[in-house]
A = this chain, B = another copy of it.
Amino acid sequence: MPEDKRQLILEASVRVFARKGYHTSRVGDIAEEAGVAHGLLYHYFKSKEELLETIFRNTWTLMLDTIRGVESLDDPSRETLRKVAAIVLRAWRDTPDIVRVLVREVTRSPHLQQEIGEIEQAFAALERVIRKGQESGEFRDGVDPRFASFIFYGALEEILTGWVMGQLPDTEEDVRIAERTIVEMLCDGLLSAAPVRA
């Protein structure tokens, strides 16, 4: 049975990292979780760190492709942002362990973060969406698109973090509420009276 051991090990590492954190996870734990000898791990991956790197890269590549797909639909900008929010937030219900690992480790690995251009590209994509919204007149000028993209991404990530840390409720209904809240807040604003627009 030629089950793909490489994939087996990779998925095991996601579960173990999610459970114990990267630094606290031992290579032996991962091998045990995968049901293979620990030596095999080094047949497929150069090091423990390469596992984490692979998880990062795989996920971000996928995420980026999806975002680009959404971008190319040419929806109104608000709708594009909503779809992006939906994709990111629903990852929590689809692959919670991966989200756990990313949320907990990504920020703490300055080394990794730099190597992974995908993250930067995600910001760039968000920035494009916002800038395009401004050019079309749907979004107002005067908001810096670069900072805005960070704000949007930070909002998404913090909600994921809240779920990971168990600080926020996360039923399916909650996920929908979170999605709507982000879009309404960032696009429509908190204020009840519309501000005077220049």
Residues of A whose CB lies within 8 Å of any CB of B are: 21-23, 78, 103-105, 107-110, 113-114, 116, 120, 123, 130, 133, 137-144, 146-148, 150-151, 153-159, 161-162, 164-165, 167-168, 177-178, 181-182, 184-195, 197
Contact = CB atoms under 8 A, between A and B. Distances in A.
A151 B185 contact: yes
Contacts of A193: 197
B144 A153 contact: no
Contacts of A167: 116, 120, 123, 150
Contacts of A157: 154, 158
Given A147-B181, A150-B158, A161-B107, A189 B189 contact: yes
Contacts of A162: 150
B191 A139 contact: yes
A191 B190 contact: no
Contact of A21 (B78, B110, B154, B187): B110
Contacts of A104: 107-108, 110
Given A116-B167, A140-B190, 13 more contacts: A23-B108, A104-B107, A123-B167, A139-B192, A144-B177, A144-B181, A147-B177, A147-B182, A151-B155, A151-B159, A186-B190, A194-B194, A194-B195
